[in-house]
Amino acid sequence: MILQDDRYQIQGIDLVSLTETYGSPLYVYDGQKIVDQYHGLKDSFSKVKVNIKYAGKALTNQAILQLMKREGAGLDVVSIQEAQLGIRAGFEPHEILYTPNCVSFDEIKEAVELGVKINIDNISILEQFGHVYHGTVPICVRLNPHILAGGHHKISTGHIDSKFGISVHQLRHVLRVIDTNGLKVEGLHVHTGSDVLDPEVFLRGADIIFEAAHSFPDLQYIDFGSGFKVAYREGDAVTDISLLASRIEEAFLEFCQEYGRELEMWFEPGKYLVSEAGYMLVRTNVIKTTPATVFAGVDSGMNHLIRPMMYDAYHDIVNLSNPQGTQRVYTVVGYICETDTFGWDRKLNEVREGDILAIKNAGAYGFSMSSNYNSRFRPAEVLVYQGKHHLIRKRETMDDLLVNQVPVEW
Ligand SMILES: *Cc1c(COP(=O)(O)O)cnc(C)c1O
Protein backbone atom coordinates (compact mmCIF):
# COMPACT_ATOMS: atom_id res chain seq x y z
CA MET A 1 0.00 0.00 0.00
CA ILE A 2 1.46 3.35 -0.99
CA LEU A 3 0.30 6.92 -0.53
CA GLN A 4 0.23 8.77 -3.82
CA ASP A 5 -1.64 11.97 -4.67
CA ASP A 6 -3.22 11.83 -1.21
CA ARG A 7 -4.71 8.40 -1.87
CA TYR A 8 -3.65 5.04 -0.54
CA GLN A 9 -3.24 2.62 -3.42
CA ILE A 10 -2.37 -0.92 -4.34
CA GLN A 11 -1.10 -1.39 -7.89
CA GLY A 12 -2.59 1.97 -8.80
CA ILE A 13 -6.01 1.08 -7.37
CA ASP A 14 -7.43 3.44 -4.80
CA LEU A 15 -8.40 1.49 -1.68
CA VAL A 16 -11.18 3.82 -0.54
CA SER A 17 -12.83 3.48 -3.95
CA LEU A 18 -12.87 -0.31 -3.48
CA THR A 19 -15.14 0.18 -0.46
CA GLU A 20 -17.39 2.34 -2.63
CA THR A 21 -17.58 -0.49 -5.18
CA TYR A 22 -17.83 -3.46 -2.83
CA GLY A 23 -18.97 -1.98 0.47
CA SER A 24 -17.40 -2.35 3.88
CA PRO A 25 -16.00 -4.07 5.77
CA LEU A 26 -13.86 -5.50 3.02
CA TYR A 27 -10.85 -7.78 2.82
CA VAL A 28 -8.42 -6.71 0.10
CA TYR A 29 -5.40 -8.78 -0.97
CA ASP A 30 -2.46 -7.55 -2.98
CA GLY A 31 -1.70 -10.47 -5.32
CA GLN A 32 1.65 -9.01 -6.34
CA LYS A 33 2.81 -8.94 -2.73
CA ILE A 34 1.94 -12.64 -2.38
CA VAL A 35 3.86 -13.46 -5.56
CA ASP A 36 6.86 -11.42 -4.36
CA GLN A 37 6.90 -13.11 -0.95
CA TYR A 38 6.75 -16.55 -2.55
CA HIS A 39 9.56 -15.95 -5.00
CA GLY A 40 11.63 -14.00 -2.49
CA LEU A 41 11.54 -16.98 -0.17
CA LYS A 42 12.07 -19.56 -2.88
CA ASP A 43 14.96 -17.66 -4.46
CA SER A 44 16.75 -17.37 -1.11
CA PHE A 45 17.69 -21.00 -1.58
CA SER A 46 20.14 -21.79 -4.33
CA LYS A 47 22.08 -24.86 -3.28
CA VAL A 48 19.32 -27.33 -2.42
CA LYS A 49 16.07 -28.39 -3.99
CA VAL A 50 13.48 -26.45 -2.04
CA ASN A 51 9.75 -27.04 -2.14
CA ILE A 52 7.42 -24.46 -0.63
CA LYS A 53 4.03 -25.69 0.49
CA TYR A 54 1.65 -22.85 1.23
CA ALA A 55 -0.08 -23.42 4.59
CA GLY A 56 -3.58 -22.92 3.25
CA LYS A 57 -5.25 -22.42 6.60
CA ALA A 58 -3.92 -18.86 6.66
CA LEU A 59 -6.20 -17.85 3.77
CA THR A 60 -8.17 -20.46 1.90
CA ASN A 61 -10.00 -18.56 -0.81
CA GLN A 62 -9.89 -20.52 -4.10
CA ALA A 63 -8.37 -17.56 -5.94
CA ILE A 64 -5.49 -17.41 -3.47
CA LEU A 65 -4.92 -21.16 -3.71
CA GLN A 66 -4.96 -20.87 -7.50
CA LEU A 67 -2.47 -18.02 -7.39
CA MET A 68 -0.11 -20.15 -5.28
CA LYS A 69 -0.49 -23.05 -7.67
CA ARG A 70 0.25 -20.83 -10.68
CA GLU A 71 3.42 -19.58 -9.05
CA GLY A 72 4.60 -23.13 -8.41
CA ALA A 73 3.89 -23.62 -4.72
CA GLY A 74 2.60 -26.83 -3.16
CA LEU A 75 0.00 -26.87 -0.40
CA ASP A 76 0.01 -27.81 3.28
CA VAL A 77 -3.40 -28.58 4.74
CA VAL A 78 -4.63 -29.42 8.22
CA SER A 79 -8.08 -30.82 7.46
CA ILE A 80 -9.70 -33.03 4.84
CA GLN A 81 -11.80 -30.06 3.78
CA GLU A 82 -8.72 -27.98 3.08
CA ALA A 83 -7.34 -30.89 1.05
CA GLN A 84 -10.56 -30.95 -0.98
CA LEU A 85 -10.44 -27.18 -1.46
CA GLY A 86 -6.85 -27.50 -2.66
CA ILE A 87 -7.76 -30.16 -5.21
CA ARG A 88 -10.68 -28.02 -6.40
CA ALA A 89 -8.31 -25.12 -6.86
CA GLY A 90 -6.16 -27.24 -9.15
CA PHE A 91 -3.46 -28.79 -6.99
CA GLU A 92 -2.50 -32.35 -7.83
CA PRO A 93 -3.12 -34.51 -4.78
CA HIS A 94 0.58 -35.43 -4.55
CA GLU A 95 1.43 -31.72 -4.23
CA ILE A 96 -0.57 -31.56 -1.01
CA LEU A 97 0.77 -32.49 2.40
CA TYR A 98 -1.95 -33.22 4.92
CA THR A 99 -0.76 -32.42 8.46
CA PRO A 100 -3.68 -33.05 10.80
CA ASN A 101 -3.69 -33.18 14.57
CA CYS A 102 -6.08 -35.35 16.57
CA VAL A 103 -8.32 -36.20 13.62
CA SER A 104 -10.05 -39.55 13.36
CA PHE A 105 -8.44 -42.42 11.52
CA ASP A 106 -11.44 -42.34 9.17
CA GLU A 107 -10.42 -38.87 8.04
CA ILE A 108 -6.87 -40.10 7.44
CA LYS A 109 -8.27 -42.90 5.29
CA GLU A 110 -10.25 -40.34 3.29
CA ALA A 111 -7.04 -38.41 2.73
CA VAL A 112 -5.29 -41.55 1.51
CA GLU A 113 -8.16 -42.06 -0.94
CA LEU A 114 -7.74 -38.49 -2.18
CA GLY A 115 -4.10 -39.30 -2.84
CA VAL A 116 -2.57 -36.54 -0.74
CA LYS A 117 0.60 -37.05 1.26
CA ILE A 118 -0.04 -37.93 4.89
CA ASN A 119 1.87 -36.48 7.80
CA ILE A 120 1.34 -38.48 10.98
CA ASP A 121 1.73 -36.82 14.34
CA ASN A 122 0.89 -39.45 16.94
CA ILE A 123 1.82 -43.04 17.67
CA SER A 124 -1.73 -44.35 17.90
CA ILE A 125 -2.50 -43.25 14.34
CA LEU A 126 0.90 -44.52 13.21
CA GLU A 127 -0.04 -47.98 14.51
CA GLN A 128 -3.50 -47.92 12.93
CA PHE A 129 -2.00 -46.73 9.68
CA GLY A 130 0.58 -49.51 9.82
CA HIS A 131 -2.09 -52.18 10.37
CA VAL A 132 -4.13 -51.00 7.37
CA TYR A 133 -1.57 -49.84 4.82
CA HIS A 134 1.77 -51.33 5.87
CA GLY A 135 4.31 -49.95 3.39
CA THR A 136 1.89 -49.39 0.50
CA VAL A 137 1.35 -45.71 1.26
CA PRO A 138 4.52 -43.78 2.11
CA ILE A 139 4.14 -41.33 4.96
CA CYS A 140 5.71 -38.35 6.62
CA VAL A 141 6.24 -38.32 10.39
CA ARG A 142 5.90 -35.15 12.44
CA LEU A 143 8.44 -35.02 15.23
CA ASN A 144 8.36 -32.64 18.13
CA PRO A 145 11.89 -31.49 18.96
CA HIS A 146 10.74 -29.72 22.14
CA ILE A 147 12.02 -26.33 21.32
CA LEU A 148 10.22 -23.46 22.96
CA ALA A 149 9.58 -20.93 20.25
CA GLY A 150 6.94 -18.67 18.83
CA GLY A 151 5.61 -15.22 19.46
CA HIS A 152 2.78 -16.25 21.78
CA HIS A 153 2.08 -19.32 23.89
CA LYS A 154 -1.06 -20.06 21.87
CA ILE A 155 0.95 -20.35 18.65
CA SER A 156 3.94 -22.18 20.06
CA THR A 157 3.78 -25.87 19.19
CA GLY A 158 7.17 -27.34 19.96
CA HIS A 159 7.25 -27.35 23.75
CA ILE A 160 7.14 -30.45 25.95
CA ASP A 161 3.44 -30.23 26.80
CA SER A 162 2.32 -29.33 23.29
CA LYS A 163 -0.20 -31.61 21.60
CA PHE A 164 1.66 -31.46 18.28
CA GLY A 165 4.04 -34.00 16.83
CA ILE A 166 5.59 -37.14 18.21
CA SER A 167 8.21 -36.44 20.85
CA VAL A 168 11.76 -37.15 19.73
CA HIS A 169 12.08 -38.90 23.07
CA GLN A 170 9.69 -41.53 21.69
CA LEU A 171 11.80 -42.21 18.64
CA ARG A 172 12.53 -45.82 19.60
CA HIS A 173 8.84 -46.52 19.98
CA VAL A 174 8.19 -44.92 16.57
CA LEU A 175 10.87 -47.02 14.95
CA ARG A 176 9.43 -50.19 16.48
CA VAL A 177 5.97 -49.41 15.05
CA ILE A 178 7.49 -48.67 11.65
CA ASP A 179 9.53 -51.85 11.71
CA THR A 180 6.69 -54.09 12.87
CA ASN A 181 4.35 -52.84 10.14
CA GLY A 182 6.82 -52.37 7.33
CA LEU A 183 5.89 -48.67 7.08
CA LYS A 184 7.71 -46.55 4.54
CA VAL A 185 8.67 -43.11 5.85
CA GLU A 186 9.55 -40.74 3.02
CA GLY A 187 9.47 -37.50 5.00
CA LEU A 188 10.22 -36.06 8.41
CA HIS A 189 8.54 -32.91 9.59
CA VAL A 190 9.05 -30.36 12.32
CA HIS A 191 7.10 -27.17 13.00
CA THR A 192 7.89 -25.29 16.17
CA GLY A 193 5.37 -22.45 16.09
CA SER A 194 4.49 -19.14 14.57
CA ASP A 195 6.35 -15.81 14.70
CA VAL A 196 9.75 -17.39 15.24
CA LEU A 197 12.29 -14.62 14.86
CA ASP A 198 15.61 -16.32 15.45
CA PRO A 199 17.15 -18.50 12.68
CA GLU A 200 18.93 -20.40 15.47
CA VAL A 201 15.59 -21.88 16.48
CA PHE A 202 15.17 -23.43 13.03
CA LEU A 203 18.74 -24.66 13.11
CA ARG A 204 18.31 -26.26 16.52
CA GLY A 205 15.17 -27.97 15.28
CA ALA A 206 17.03 -29.05 12.14
CA ASP A 207 19.89 -30.56 14.14
CA ILE A 208 17.50 -32.68 16.14
CA ILE A 209 15.72 -33.85 12.98
CA PHE A 210 19.00 -34.64 11.23
CA GLU A 211 20.03 -36.82 14.11
CA ALA A 212 16.72 -38.69 14.00
CA ALA A 213 16.79 -38.90 10.20
CA HIS A 214 19.63 -41.40 10.18
CA SER A 215 17.16 -43.98 11.49
CA PHE A 216 14.89 -43.52 8.43
CA PRO A 217 16.50 -44.96 5.30
CA ASP A 218 13.72 -44.13 2.79
CA LEU A 219 13.57 -40.34 3.15
CA GLN A 220 12.84 -38.11 0.15
CA TYR A 221 12.37 -34.83 1.99
CA ILE A 222 12.61 -33.06 5.30
CA ASP A 223 9.93 -30.49 6.04
CA PHE A 224 11.18 -27.71 8.30
CA GLY A 225 7.73 -26.27 8.87
CA SER A 226 7.26 -22.58 9.13
CA GLY A 227 6.79 -19.80 11.58
CA PHE A 228 8.74 -17.07 9.80
CA LYS A 229 8.02 -13.79 11.47
CA VAL A 230 6.78 -10.87 9.42
CA ALA A 231 6.61 -7.19 10.36
CA TYR A 232 3.42 -6.18 12.13
CA ARG A 233 4.60 -2.66 12.79
CA GLU A 234 7.08 -0.42 11.13
CA GLY A 235 10.60 -1.29 12.16
CA ASP A 236 9.59 -4.70 13.55
CA ALA A 237 12.32 -7.30 13.50
CA VAL A 238 11.56 -10.07 11.01
CA THR A 239 13.10 -13.48 10.42
CA ASP A 240 16.26 -12.88 8.40
CA ILE A 241 15.36 -15.21 5.54
CA SER A 242 18.62 -14.94 3.63
CA LEU A 243 20.64 -15.64 6.77
CA LEU A 244 18.34 -18.51 7.66
CA ALA A 245 18.53 -19.88 4.12
CA SER A 246 22.30 -19.87 3.93
CA ARG A 247 22.74 -21.39 7.38
CA ILE A 248 20.16 -24.11 6.96
CA GLU A 249 21.32 -24.94 3.42
CA GLU A 250 24.83 -25.42 4.72
CA ALA A 251 23.66 -27.68 7.54
CA PHE A 252 21.34 -29.57 5.19
CA LEU A 253 24.03 -30.23 2.59
CA GLU A 254 26.31 -31.52 5.30
CA PHE A 255 23.53 -33.78 6.56
CA CYS A 256 22.73 -35.08 3.05
CA GLN A 257 26.35 -35.99 2.56
CA GLU A 258 26.33 -38.06 5.76
CA TYR A 259 22.94 -39.50 4.86
CA GLY A 260 24.27 -40.55 1.49
CA ARG A 261 21.63 -38.94 -0.70
CA GLU A 262 20.40 -35.49 -1.59
CA LEU A 263 16.96 -34.88 -0.13
CA GLU A 264 14.46 -32.12 -0.80
CA MET A 265 14.03 -29.31 1.70
CA TRP A 266 10.43 -28.34 2.33
CA PHE A 267 8.88 -25.36 4.08
CA GLU A 268 5.23 -24.62 4.71
CA PRO A 269 4.73 -20.93 5.37
CA GLY A 270 1.31 -19.37 5.72
CA LYS A 271 1.74 -16.01 7.36
CA TYR A 272 4.95 -15.21 5.50
CA LEU A 273 3.23 -15.51 2.13
CA VAL A 274 -0.06 -13.74 2.76
CA SER A 275 -0.07 -11.69 5.97
CA GLU A 276 1.27 -8.40 4.64
CA ALA A 277 -0.68 -8.73 1.39
CA GLY A 278 -3.99 -8.37 3.23
CA TYR A 279 -5.90 -5.33 4.46
CA MET A 280 -9.20 -5.24 6.22
CA LEU A 281 -10.98 -2.03 5.33
CA VAL A 282 -13.55 -0.82 7.83
CA ARG A 283 -15.79 2.21 8.03
CA THR A 284 -15.89 4.41 11.11
CA ASN A 285 -19.43 4.37 12.49
CA VAL A 286 -18.98 6.63 15.48
CA ILE A 287 -16.43 8.69 17.32
CA LYS A 288 -17.18 8.27 20.99
CA THR A 289 -15.43 10.44 23.52
CA THR A 290 -15.44 9.30 27.13
CA PRO A 291 -13.69 11.03 30.05
CA ALA A 292 -10.71 8.73 29.47
CA THR A 293 -10.58 7.80 25.79
CA VAL A 294 -11.55 8.71 22.26
CA PHE A 295 -12.97 5.62 20.61
CA ALA A 296 -13.27 5.12 16.89
CA GLY A 297 -16.03 2.53 16.57
CA VAL A 298 -15.95 0.67 13.25
CA ASP A 299 -18.31 -1.58 11.29
CA SER A 300 -16.43 -4.78 12.09
CA GLY A 301 -15.00 -6.58 15.09
CA MET A 302 -13.62 -9.80 16.48
CA ASN A 303 -16.06 -11.67 14.24
CA HIS A 304 -14.03 -10.59 11.20
CA LEU A 305 -10.49 -10.28 12.55
CA ILE A 306 -9.86 -11.99 15.85
CA ARG A 307 -6.06 -11.90 16.05
CA PRO A 308 -5.82 -8.69 18.14
CA MET A 309 -8.21 -10.12 20.73
CA MET A 310 -7.11 -13.75 20.64
CA TYR A 311 -3.34 -13.38 20.40
CA ASP A 312 -2.91 -9.79 21.56
CA ALA A 313 -1.56 -9.25 18.08
CA TYR A 314 -0.58 -5.76 17.02
CA HIS A 315 -2.09 -4.74 13.70
CA ASP A 316 -1.18 -1.38 12.29
CA ILE A 317 -4.15 0.87 11.50
CA VAL A 318 -4.22 3.69 8.95
CA ASN A 319 -6.91 6.26 8.22
CA LEU A 320 -7.20 6.03 4.44
CA SER A 321 -9.74 8.85 4.16
CA ASN A 322 -7.75 11.66 5.73
CA PRO A 323 -4.05 11.20 4.97
CA GLN A 324 -3.14 14.78 5.82
CA GLY A 325 -5.30 15.10 8.94
CA THR A 326 -3.77 16.13 12.24
CA GLN A 327 -2.64 13.12 14.22
CA ARG A 328 -4.69 12.32 17.30
CA VAL A 329 -4.91 9.34 19.61
CA TYR A 330 -7.74 6.83 19.21
CA THR A 331 -8.68 3.45 20.53
CA VAL A 332 -10.14 1.57 17.60
CA VAL A 333 -12.91 -0.82 18.59
CA GLY A 334 -15.43 -3.07 16.89
CA TYR A 335 -19.21 -3.20 17.02
CA ILE A 336 -19.47 -6.60 18.70
CA CYS A 337 -20.86 -6.96 22.21
CA GLU A 338 -17.47 -7.95 23.58
CA THR A 339 -14.42 -5.89 24.26
CA ASP A 340 -13.12 -6.20 20.73
CA THR A 341 -10.34 -3.70 20.49
CA PHE A 342 -8.33 -3.57 17.27
CA GLY A 343 -5.80 -1.15 18.71
CA TRP A 344 -5.30 0.88 21.88
CA ASP A 345 -4.09 4.46 21.89
CA ARG A 346 -3.15 4.63 18.23
CA LYS A 347 -1.96 7.79 16.62
CA LEU A 348 -4.10 8.22 13.53
CA ASN A 349 -4.73 11.08 11.17
CA GLU A 350 -7.89 12.66 12.50
CA VAL A 351 -10.71 10.15 12.20
CA ARG A 352 -14.15 11.45 11.29
CA GLU A 353 -17.35 9.45 11.20
CA GLY A 354 -17.51 7.75 7.81
CA ASP A 355 -13.75 7.53 7.36
CA ILE A 356 -12.32 4.28 6.02
CA LEU A 357 -9.57 2.71 8.10
CA ALA A 358 -7.22 -0.03 6.93
CA ILE A 359 -6.15 -2.70 9.38
CA LYS A 360 -2.90 -4.11 8.10
CA ASN A 361 -1.46 -7.64 8.09
CA ALA A 362 -4.96 -9.01 7.66
CA GLY A 363 -4.07 -11.55 4.96
CA ALA A 364 -3.18 -14.42 7.27
CA TYR A 365 -5.66 -15.78 9.81
CA GLY A 366 -8.03 -12.93 9.08
CA PHE A 367 -10.92 -14.08 6.96
CA SER A 368 -10.06 -17.73 7.62
CA MET A 369 -10.74 -17.25 11.35
CA SER A 370 -13.83 -15.12 10.87
CA SER A 371 -17.24 -16.06 12.19
CA ASN A 372 -20.87 -14.98 12.23
CA TYR A 373 -20.83 -14.01 15.91
CA ASN A 374 -23.58 -11.48 16.68
CA SER A 375 -25.21 -12.73 13.47
CA ARG A 376 -23.14 -10.40 11.37
CA PHE A 377 -22.35 -11.19 7.75
CA ARG A 378 -18.81 -12.02 6.83
CA PRO A 379 -17.13 -9.46 4.56
CA ALA A 380 -16.49 -9.69 0.85
CA GLU A 381 -12.95 -10.43 -0.35
CA VAL A 382 -11.21 -8.69 -3.24
CA LEU A 383 -7.98 -9.69 -4.96
CA VAL A 384 -5.97 -6.98 -6.67
CA TYR A 385 -3.83 -8.56 -9.34
CA GLN A 386 -2.02 -7.03 -12.32
CA GLY A 387 -3.69 -3.69 -11.83
CA LYS A 388 -7.24 -5.08 -11.71
CA HIS A 389 -9.55 -5.81 -8.83
CA HIS A 390 -11.49 -9.05 -8.65
CA LEU A 391 -14.30 -9.88 -6.29
CA ILE A 392 -13.30 -13.33 -5.01
CA ARG A 393 -16.00 -13.74 -2.38
CA LYS A 394 -19.36 -12.04 -2.08
CA ARG A 395 -20.45 -10.42 1.15
CA GLU A 396 -22.80 -12.70 3.01
CA THR A 397 -26.51 -12.03 3.21
CA MET A 398 -29.35 -13.07 5.52
CA ASP A 399 -29.79 -16.17 3.33
CA ASP A 400 -26.31 -17.34 4.31
CA LEU A 401 -27.17 -17.07 7.99
CA LEU A 402 -30.32 -19.13 7.49
CA VAL A 403 -29.23 -21.59 4.83
CA ASN A 404 -28.69 -24.55 7.16
CA GLN A 405 -31.26 -23.74 9.78
CA VAL A 406 -34.17 -26.12 9.90
CA PRO A 407 -37.51 -24.64 10.93
CA VAL A 408 -39.52 -26.58 13.46
CA GLU A 409 -43.06 -27.49 12.38
CA TRP A 410 -44.72 -26.08 15.48
C1 LIG B 1 -0.19 -23.22 10.86
C2 LIG B 1 0.82 -24.10 10.30
C3 LIG B 1 1.78 -23.59 9.41
C4 LIG B 1 1.87 -22.14 9.02
O5 LIG B 1 2.35 -21.34 10.03
P6 LIG B 1 2.63 -19.79 9.73
O7 LIG B 1 3.06 -19.23 11.01
O8 LIG B 1 1.38 -19.19 9.21
O9 LIG B 1 3.69 -19.73 8.69
C10 LIG B 1 2.66 -24.49 8.86
N11 LIG B 1 2.61 -25.80 9.17
C12 LIG B 1 1.70 -26.32 10.01
C13 LIG B 1 1.70 -27.77 10.28
C14 LIG B 1 0.80 -25.49 10.60
O15 LIG B 1 -0.10 -26.01 11.46
Ligand 1 centroid to 292 CA: how many Å?
Answer: 39
Ligand 1 centroid to 399 CA: how many Å?
Answer: 33
Q: Tell me the three state secondary structure of residue 76.
A: strand
Stated as kind and residue range, the H or E segment containing 222 is strand 221-223
Instruction: State the closest ligand 1 atom to the C-alpha of 189, by its place in the atom list counted from 1.
Output: 13
Instruction: State the closest ligand 1 atom to the C-alpha of 142, by its place in the atom list counted from 1.
Output: 13
Instruction: State the closest ligand 1 atom to the C-alpha of 273, by its place in the atom list counted from 1.
Output: 9
Ligand 1 pocket, residues with Cβ under 6 angstroms:
55, 57-58, 76, 78, 99, 191, 194, 225-227, 268-272, 364
Domains and CATH numbers, the chain: 2-23+278-362+364-402 (2.40.37.10), 31-272 (3.20.20.10)
Task: Locate the DSSP E strands across 190-244.
Answer: 221-223
> Whose C-alpha lies nearest to ligand 1, atom 13?
99
Backbone angles phi, psi at 389, to 5 degrees: -110, 135
| pTM, rounded to two decimals | 0.95
> 95-123, pLDDT tens digit by residue?
999 999 999 999 999 999 999 999 999 99
Ligand 1 centroid to 270 CA: how many Å?
Answer: 6
144 forms beta bridges with 167
Pocket test residue of 54, 164, 226, 367 for ligand 1, highest count of atoms within 8 A of CB: 226
User: Rounded distance, CA 55 to CA 75, Å?
Assistant: 6
Q: Walk along the chain (410 residues) and give the pLDDT tens digit of each residue.
A: 999 999 999 999 999 999 999 999 999 999 999 999 999 999 999 999 999 999 999 999 999 999 999 999 999 999 999 999 999 999 999 999 999 999 999 999 999 999 999 999 999 999 999 999 999 999 999 999 887 655 555 555 556 667 888 999 999 999 999 999 999 999 999 987 666 778 888 888 899 999 999 999 999 999 999 888 888 888 888 888 899 899 999 999 999 999 999 999 999 999 999 999 999 999 999 999 999 999 999 999 999 999 999 999 999 999 999 999 999 999 999 999 989 999 999 999 999 999 999 999 999 999 999 999 999 999 999 999 999 999 999 999 999 999 999 999 99
Active site residues: 337
Ligand 1 centroid to 211 CA: how many Å?
Answer: 23
* Residue 399 amino acid letter: D
